[in-house]
Structure 1
Amino acid sequence: MAPYDIIDPSFRSFVLPNAAIETLGTGFRWLEGPVWFADHDCLVFSDIPNDRVLRWSETGGVSVFRSPCGFENGHARDREGRLISCSHRNRCVTRTEWDGRITVLASHYQGRRLNAPNDVVVKSDGSIWFTDPLYGINTDYEGGRQVSEQRPAVYRLDPARAELEVVAGDFEGPNGLCFSPDERVLYIVETGQQFAADPVRHIRRAVLTENGTRLGATMVFHEVVPGGADGLRCDEDGNVWTSAADGVHCLNPQGALLGKIRTNTPVANLAFGGRQRSRLFLCAGQTLLGVYVNRRGAVRP
């Protein structure tokens, strides 16, 4: 039986007591960046320290999608279904074309190299939003130590015009990203400085302005305890499902904690997928987990 913590009574209808947490794969090093390919009925995700992108399907299990991969972390799909990826080692955001070619979309800002793009989301207008902290160039474990040339920031890329701009520059360690279902709000995880004794850790919320191309002032939405947040996703009702040190936490759109799915191991990232987008795939350290819930992942306009 899946271990749930019901904090708000509403969460009781979000989960399924007879739906166990299933182990879908294990023996990895550190999993991240899950994205669901409904047209191929598979999950694509990263095993960062092993420098490979993997694929999981119900019928085929785990296989290698790309290796080496430049120590890729976050992934998303663009409006044409192509894979958008964040590379630590190569310090860039790329697009995998349908014929397998890789196109570099962003590698520099104002003439200087990006740090280590971490997470990425694609808006319905085709714009690509990504975070660029220092984590991937701080150690040799997740990409290789290199010198930073930029302050950590959140970027917006207009691929049609090849224009890259900073939309938020007041983060110490911008990490996971997620749009609300109506794309009026962007949630951004702040995980702080990697080796700080007491890093700043919370989820911020920013309302989009100027026809959805800019961010208004960001405000603290929720502080995940224990361990802080990393990756996060919205369901179709606007609830935020976020990773945590003890599993997955579910927050309502006002930032109140509704309940938890306890995994007893840190979860780095998650994605909705499977039939009706009602299965949560969890990147839990060295293990890929899956659990069915009674909510569906958001499909944006």
Structure 2
Amino acid sequence: MPDAAAPDSLKVVQPGATLEKISSQFTFTEGPTVDKKGTVYFTDQPNDKIWAYDTDGKLAIFMDKTGRSNGLYIDKKGNLIACADQRNELWSISPDKKVTVLLANYQGHRFNGPNDLWLDPKGGIYFTDPYYQRPYWDHKQPDLATQNVYYLPKGKTEAVLADGNLMQPNGIVGSPDGTYLYVADIKANKTYKYQIGKDGQLSNRQLFVSQGSDGMTLDSKGNLYLTGKGVTVYDPTGKKLGNIPVPSGWVGNVCFGGKDRNTLFITASESVYTLKMAVKGIE
């Protein structure tokens, strides 16, 4: 299937559906996640804001001064778990915007910059920690020698190293039953699949596809959506189903939103888009 195909030529896209631009008022959008109602929350990190896009199509600022939040994920209680890389921390932001710092360092060392995250069914947090120098940091080099994936078990205050053998991990997502995890090593241009053990440890790392990704999501059929130049969709075996072209220079991330979870929400640099799908999300 050619990459320039219309979006609805992919079997996962609703027949006749076209990409709809919601807004282009941002600087760099990231971290979309969805709540129980289907409202999507996302970040505009350079402007230090979290926005909300509800099921009626209303777009509004949810929070200002967000610790430079990047990746987001909503827990079962409705808190936004945020990769707040102004001070290289993990935050929990309550519905009334109260901030709790969940994690501030690894064995006394400052994180590189928590970037993307996924919560397992137990409430544990997997997150990627690549190093991207930020203009708002005082430091000019990382404290840690490697760029890793970590796991924070629910209720704990210390992270566990989940994989320390990656070049620059970025996008991350897991299966809804908590049995496997995908991690994109964006610098190596690879996406890996892991088995998740009962205590959160990762094993059996296998190359899933030779493509990296900034963000990612899964649908109810087990298809994996990778981002960068448009949105590229792979079936559960790693076969490429096709690419959804997006008229922005870079697609940072994706998630499924809406009341029925059948709207693909795409954060693409200065813009956000939606696309009606023939499949549903799992978040």
Taking the aligned partners of 1:279 and 1:116, their CA distance within structure 2 comes to: 30
What amino acid does structure 1 have at the position aligned with 2:228? A
1:239 pairs with 223, 231, 244, which one?
Answer: 223
Shift of 1:223: 2.1
The within-5 A match list for 1:1-301 is: 3-4=6-7, 6=9, 11-12=10-11, 14-39=12-37, 41-59=38-56, 61-135=58-132, 138-140=133-135, 143-144=136-137, 146=139, 147-150=141-144, 151-192=146-187, 200-209=188-197, 211=198, 213-224=200-211, 228-245=212-229, 247-265=230-248, 266-299=250-283
Per the alignment, do residues 121 and 282 of structure 1 end up closer, same or farther by CA in structure 2, a change over 3 Å counting? same
Instruction: Please give the per-residue CA displacement for 1:163-207, whole angstroms capped at 9, x wherever unaligned.
Output: 311100111211011102332110001112xxxxxxx21111111
- Segments of structure 2 that go 5 or more residues without pairing to the other structure are none
Taking the aligned partners of 2:196 and 2:50, their CA distance within structure 1 comes to: 32
Taking the aligned partners of 2:238 and 2:103, their CA distance within structure 1 comes to: 33
* Partner SS, residue 77 of structure 2: coil
Shift of 1:145: 5.5
Shift of 1:5: 7.7
Counterpart for residue 195 of structure 1: none
- Tell me if the contact between 2:7 and 2:19 (Cα under 8 Å) persists in the aligned partners: no
TM-score, structure 2 as length reference: 0.91
Taking the aligned partners of 1:254 and 1:109, their CA distance within structure 2 comes to: 35
- Tell me if the contact between 1:105 and 1:159 (Cα under 8 Å) persists in the aligned partners: no
- Segments of structure 1 that go 5 or more residues without pairing to the other structure are 193-199
What amino acid does structure 2 have at the position aligned with 1:20? T
Instruction: Please give the per-residue CA displacement for 1:221-272, whole angstroms capped at 9, x wherever unaligned.
Output: 1123xxx421111111211111131x11110111110122111332110000
- Tell me if the contact between 1:184 and 1:212 (Cα under 8 Å) persists in the aligned partners: no
Taking the aligned partners of 1:5 and 1:64, their CA distance within structure 2 comes to: 31
CA RMSD of aligned residues (A): 1.8
Per the alignment, do residues 58 and 235 of structure 1 end up closer, same or farther by CA in structure 2, a change over 3 Å counting? closer
* Partner SS, residue 49 of structure 1: helix
What amino acid does structure 2 have at the position aligned with 1:257? K
What amino acid does structure 1 have at the position aligned with 2:6? P
Per the alignment, do residues 108 and 17 of structure 1 end up closer, same or farther by CA in structure 2, a change over 3 Å counting? same
- Tell me if the contact between 1:237 and 1:298 (Cα under 8 Å) persists in the aligned partners: no
Taking the aligned partners of 2:259 and 2:156, their CA distance within structure 1 comes to: 36
What amino acid does structure 2 have at the position aligned with 1:34? P
What amino acid does structure 2 have at the position aligned with 1:3? A
Instruction: Please give the per-residue CA displacement for 1:21-78, whole angstroms capped at 9, x wherever unaligned.
Output: 1111112111100011233x42110111112111222546322212221211000011
Instruction: Please give the per-residue CA displacement for 1:121-153, whole angstroms capped at 9, x wherever unaligned.
Output: 111111111111111xx131xx43623112211
How many percent of aligned residue pairs carry the same amino acid?
30
* Partner SS, residue 66 of structure 2: coil
- Tell me if the contact between 2:55 and 2:258 (Cα under 8 Å) persists in the aligned partners: no
Per the alignment, do residues 244 and 99 of structure 1 end up closer, same or farther by CA in structure 2, a change over 3 Å counting? closer
- Tell me if the contact between 1:72 and 1:86 (Cα under 8 Å) persists in the aligned partners: yes
Taking the aligned partners of 1:121 and 1:75, their CA distance within structure 2 comes to: 8
- Tell me if the contact between 2:49 and 2:69 (Cα under 8 Å) persists in the aligned partners: yes
Taking the aligned partners of 1:212 and 1:124, their CA distance within structure 2 comes to: 12
